[in-house]
Amino acid sequence: MSNQEESKVTTAEATVTLVKKSHRFSGKSLLSFPYILWMGAFIIIPLIMVVYYGLTSKTSNGFTLENLKLIADPINQRALFLSLKLSLISTLVCLLLAYPLALILKSMKLKSNSFVVLVMILPMWMNFLLRTIAWQNILENNGIINTVLKALNLPTINIINTPTAIVLGMVYNFLPFMILPIYNTLAKVDDNVINAARDLGANSFTTFRKIIFPLSIPGVISGITMVFVPSLTTFVISNILGGSKIVLIGNVIEQQFQKVGNWHAGSGLSLVLMVFILISMAILAKYDKETEGTNVW
Amino acid sequence: MVKKISQKVYVGLVMIFLYAPILVLIVLSFNKSKSRSKWGGFTLDWYKSLFQNEEIMSALYTTLIIAFLSALIATVIGTAASIGINHMRKVPKTILMGITNIPMLNADIVTGISLMLLFVAVNFTLGFKSVLIAHITFNIPYVILSVMPKLKQTNKNTYEAALDLGASPISAFFKVVLPDILPGVFSGFLLAFTMSLDDFIITHFTRGAAVNTLSTKIYAETRKGIKPEMYALSTLLFLSVLILLILINRRNDSIEKKRNSVALAPSK
């Protein structure tokens, strides 16, 4: 047994120079080996393949930028700008809806915050495509909202197959991902800190501005990324709630793969999309120097 | 007082927003009319025909098997990885946690596409196994992010004490460390299971033509109209989870009550 332990440690030292020799439990780091291999094979290598496909083409040898230049095509450009616009709007709406809710939930002093998590996660047990389709029922011209409006003799609304419906679908689908991280960071804020601020004469707005909000920034950042990225790249919500006329960048990429069959073009556009994701994260990281990774989940 | 009421109203409105579509789907599952937009009277027919519909049943079976296996494998790999990462020094730890965040922060569509490109490049047939691998891949980070905080809270000395008292590292792990982090492991599993169940985009790109999960089947039906059996099935799924959660909550409550009453009446 001890021999085995020793040999494990020596292989660890041989293979991972990262592990300190004197570390008493260096053998334990080996436990993450299957994970490292898995992520290498199924995260890193596939991403490299997207880069490779995006920078090559069927017709010409060697590397080319032609797939990336596809984004300049007017249709693709419009799709990208619309995606950026709609995802920014829905991220903002999510933030404005989620933050007060998280504050209220904190003030309720629930016994355990697992209850909040459950309430937010529970809808996911009904398939998200079906839930989005149900919004068709609610928003349609003869849908639930309009039936109610008609019964009350109020003017009807016409939002199905418009960008508004897509934003609503995005907000609906991704709101829990904004609420949970913000609530989790707020729940950790010590009440004594808030009380101390109040004792020292800060009014509730100042307390919020100087104490509560700064402490919740990691949650806000995490929430923004978890709403912005899926909104920016969705093709399902726009398909279901936007009709066939509204094309987002996600739809363009999906069609390159599933309909057109030009994987090089699809990968190239994905690369452009990833650049936008990276830019947004770099901007957010500026506001989030302290936290290492997103530990709010 | 007014503030309290308006707070409750706000929470209520958000809950209505989150649960309204679910209510719509439940109502549709009892709708006699096949059309989504007409109410044709109450019926339980869809619940009966659901179990005779082999396509839906096999999609359900595939969905559940993939969700269970991917969550289980991801929990094992992820928990082991968390312990390993927790014992690493700062630089490798930061690098690994960064890699862990990639599938969570990256767009699903890119993750799906990248995995598809890999599978095709190495001539791995797209099908059940490729979907399973893809689901494990996006599930592991959820497990790690659930287990890591619990690991950080555990007291390292208890593990060392167990070793000093003669426990082997393995039995020390199962008797001392695991009970401490079990809530995190369990919630990681549950989260992974739910994410796998609800996934469409990554499955869409990594499945072969032969494999259908509920999501991909629903997506194929969106244009022609959803079969009402689908509403019935998701209603059943949703309600069974809801009841299960209520039962677990009740049990936890009663255990707590018992503990409290024992603590209050120690004389017995």
A78 pLDDT more than 90 = yes
Whether A279 contacts A171, CB under 8 Å = no
Q: Which residues contact B50 (CB under 8 A, 6 or more apart)?
A: B56, B57, B229, B232, B233, B236
One-letter amino acid at A294 equals T
Distance from CA of B15 to the nearest CA of A (A): 9
Predicted local confidence at residue A120, as pLDDT: 85
Predicted local confidence at residue A15, as pLDDT: 47
Domains for chain B: give ranges and CATH numbers.
Answer: 56-226 (1.10.3720.10)
What is the token pair recorded at B163?
A: 């070793």
Looking up tokens 């800190």 gives A193
Residues A154 and A136: their CA atoms lie apart, in Å, by 20
- Residue A130: which of B94, B96, B234 has the nearest Cβ? B234
Predicted local confidence at residue B264, as pLDDT: 54
B99 contact A CB<8A: yes
B11, HSE (Cβ side, Cα atoms, 13 Å): 15
Lowest mean pLDDT among A111-120, B149-158, B201-210: A111-120
Residues A96 and A166: their CA atoms lie apart, in Å, by 18
A99, HSE (Cβ side, Cα atoms, 13 Å): 18
Predicted local confidence at residue B203, as pLDDT: 95
Query: Average pLDDT of A130-136?
Result: 93
Predicted local confidence at residue B262, as pLDDT: 62
pLDDT band at A23 (very low <50, low <70, confident <90, very high): very low
CATH class for domain A70-286? mainly alpha
A127 pLDDT more than 50 = yes
Average pLDDT, chain B: 88
Write down the number of H helices and E strands in chain B. 12, 0
A296 pLDDT more than 50 = no
| pLDDT, tens only, B140-173 | 999 998 999 888 888 888 888 888 998 888 888 8
Subunit contact A277:B92, Cβ cutoff 8 A: no
Residues B21 and A172: their CA atoms lie apart, in Å, by 10
| pLDDT, tens only, B169-202 | 888 888 888 888 998 999 899 989 999 998 999 9
A255 contact B CB<8A: no
B93 pLDDT more than 50 = yes
Q: Where are the domains of chain A?
A: 1-54, 70-286
Residues B196 and B101: their CA atoms lie apart, in Å, by 17
Residues A15 and B239: their CA atoms lie apart, in Å, by 50
- B interface test, pick of A118, A133, A188 with most B CB neighbours within 10 Å: A133
> In chain B, what residues touch A239 (CB-CB under 8 Å)?
222
How many other β-carbons are positioned within 10 Å of the β-carbon of residue B257?
10
Query: Average pLDDT of B226-245?
Result: 91
Query: Average pLDDT of B16-23?
Result: 94
SS3 of B199, please? coil
* Closest C-alpha to A249, from A111, B64, A237, A189: A237
| pLDDT, tens only, B59-90 | 999 999 999 999 999 999 999 999 999 888 88
> pLDDT over 90 for what percent of chain B?
53
Residues B77 and B87: their CA atoms lie apart, in Å, by 16
Subunit contact B115:A42, Cβ cutoff 8 A: yes
B12 contact A CB<8A: no
SS3 of B42, please? strand
Q: Give the ranges where chain A is alpha helix by DSSP (H).
A: 2-15, 26-29, 33-39, 45-54, 66-69, 74-107, 114-121, 128-139, 144-151, 163-188, 191-199, 204-207, 213-233, 236-241, 249-255, 263-286
SS3 of B200, please? coil
Q: Which residues contact B219 (CB under 8 A, 6 or more apart)?
A: A129, A236, B200, B204
Whether B219 contacts B169, CB under 8 Å = no
| pLDDT, tens only, A197-248 | 889 988 888 988 888 998 899 899 989 999 999 999 999 999 999 988 899 9
A5 pLDDT more than 80 = no
Subunit contact B145:A294, Cβ cutoff 8 A: yes
Predicted local confidence at residue B248, as pLDDT: 79
One-letter amino acid at B218 equals I
What is the token pair recorded at B44?
A: 């339980």
pLDDT band at A289 (very low <50, low <70, confident <90, very high): low
Predicted local confidence at residue A293, as pLDDT: 42
Query: Average pLDDT of A267-284?
Result: 90
Bridge partner list, B42: B31
Predicted local confidence at residue B268, as pLDDT: 36
Residues A132 and A236: their CA atoms lie apart, in Å, by 9
Q: Which residue has the higher pLDDT, B129 or A190?
A: B129
Backbone angles phi, psi at B217, to 5 degrees: -65, -45
- B interface test, pick of A97, A125, A289 with most B CB neighbours within 10 Å: A125
pLDDT band at B111 (very low <50, low <70, confident <90, very high): very high
Lowest mean pLDDT among A17-26, A179-188, B84-93, B120-129: A17-26
SS3 of B31, please? strand
Predicted local confidence at residue B169, as pLDDT: 84
A273 pLDDT more than 50 = yes
Residues B154 and A196: their CA atoms lie apart, in Å, by 30
Query: Average pLDDT of A34-62?
Result: 91
Bridge partner list, A193: none
pLDDT band at B260 (very low <50, low <70, confident <90, very high): low
